[in-house]
Amino acid sequence: MESFIKDLKHSLRMFAQSPAFTLAAIAALTLGIGVNTAIFSVVNAVLLRPVPMPEPNRVVMFLTVSQQGAGPAASPAKFQHFRLQTNVVQDVSAFGTGIVNYTGGSLPEQIPSGQVSAGFFRLFGASPAFGRTFTAEEDRPGGGRVAVLSHGFWSTRCNRDPDIVGKAVSLSGEPYTVVGVLREFNFEEFGLTPRVWTPFQLDPNTVDQGHFFTAAARIKPGVTLEQVETLPDGEPNIVRCPDVRLVPEMIRLIEAVRKDQDSIGGVAELVASGVPAGLGEPVFDKLKADREREKTAAPAHQVEAAS
């Protein structure tokens, strides 16, 4: 101990004789400790700390691959296709985030919101503190306006009202009935945690191929990731036929024509509804219309090439 005290005194005298060196050494040590702390924080959050969901090693996210690359995007038609793959996956869920206007407080405000399918909370382990999450009936078209609140929203905007279930909150000017309040739920892995959640209510018979949300699922016990990767690509209606019963027949016809190195065409019918009166009406007896009619009515002349 006496030797340590002597060494310490000697070091302090040396530092006092060279203040510039002392400051540089302290700065280097401070910077090194700060960098190491920052690196450990990132590694701990990204690599060491598990993703906050049940059995994260069995959760998969469906990607859409195109010429522009791959990304975690899904369409309503693809989502319904994924839900049918019950032999390899379960708890197939759709989720997306956005912003909604909360108009139930003293002043309107924009808050983060989430749209999810009924199985989302089970997939990601988000359990209600009280009340419940969405039922399958509420997640269908026409299932009503219902909402699940985050614990933080319930605490700050609803004053921790113990009787909030069954009451209405105003979102973008529409009343939504509260069916439950979640426990603390960390959604930061996928972005800003929503304050309120509403059901997607996707049509199970849709052919909509617009990609505007993310889809994920849990691999069933006994199924490998390789088996999941061999799933069909989720494009059950590549001919975009509104009558899905005719899709297999149309695909067989196209494949037969392709085999014969021939070509085939079709007729597309477009119906526009809700168009304002007068918009799109045909033009009659106008100079431009008369000129176009003269062009199309001009007789064709056959020209013989001189031999």
| Residue range 129-147, pLDDT digits in tens | 999 999 999 999 999 999 9
pLDDT at position 45 is: 41
User: Above 80 in pLDDT, residue 52?
Assistant: no
The mean pLDDT of 187-191, rounded to a whole number, is 79
pLDDT at position 213 is: 93
The strand pairing partners of 99, in sequence order, are 112
User: Above 50 in pLDDT, residue 44?
Assistant: no
pLDDT at position 209 is: 84
Determine the straight-line distance between the first and last CA of the chain, rounded to whole angstroms: 119
Provide the 10 A C-beta neighbour count for residue 235: 12
User: Above 90 in pLDDT, residue 267?
Assistant: no
24-30: long-range contacts, CB 8 A cutoff, minimum separation 24: none
Which has the higher per-residue pLDDT, 152 or 191?
152
Contact 260, 253 (CB under 8 A): no
User: What single string gives the DSSP state of each residue in 169-224?
Assistant: EEETTEEEEEEEEE-S---GGGSSPPSEEEE----TT-------BEEEEEEPTT--
pLDDT at position 128 is: 95
The mean pLDDT of 86-113, rounded to a whole number, is 89
Sign of CA dihedral 128, 129, 132, 134: negative
Give residue for tokens 């209510």: 201
| Alpha helices (H) along 206-281 | 225-229, 247-259
Which has the higher per-residue pLDDT, 287 or 226?
226
The mean pLDDT of 279-293, rounded to a whole number, is 61
pLDDT at position 29 is: 60
Contact 176, 198 (CB under 8 A): yes
User: Above 60 in pLDDT, residue 39?
Assistant: no
pLDDT at position 49 is: 46
User: Above 70 in pLDDT, residue 235?
Assistant: no
What confidence category does residue 226 fall into, taking pLDDT thresholds of 50, 70 and 90?
confident
CA distance 82 to 20: 66
User: Model-level pTM greater than 0.85?
Assistant: no
Percent of the chain with pLDDT over 70: 67
pLDDT at position 291 is: 67
The mean pLDDT of 72-86, rounded to a whole number, is 87
Least confident of 213-222, 237-246, 269-278: 237-246
User: Above 50 in pLDDT, residue 306?
Assistant: no
The strand pairing partners of 196, in sequence order, are 113, 149
Least confident of 111-115, 122-126, 221-225: 221-225
| Alpha helices (H) along the chain | 2-17, 19-43, 76-83, 120-124, 151-157, 225-229, 247-259, 287-297
What confidence category does residue 181 fall into, taking pLDDT thresholds of 50, 70 and 90?
very high
Provide the 10 A C-beta neighbour count for residue 234: 19
pLDDT at position 66 is: 72
What are the pLDDT digits (tens) for 9-27? 666 666 666 666 666 666 6
The mean pLDDT of 190-212, rounded to a whole number, is 90
Sign of CA dihedral 116, 122, 126, 128: positive
The mean pLDDT of 289-295, rounded to a whole number, is 63
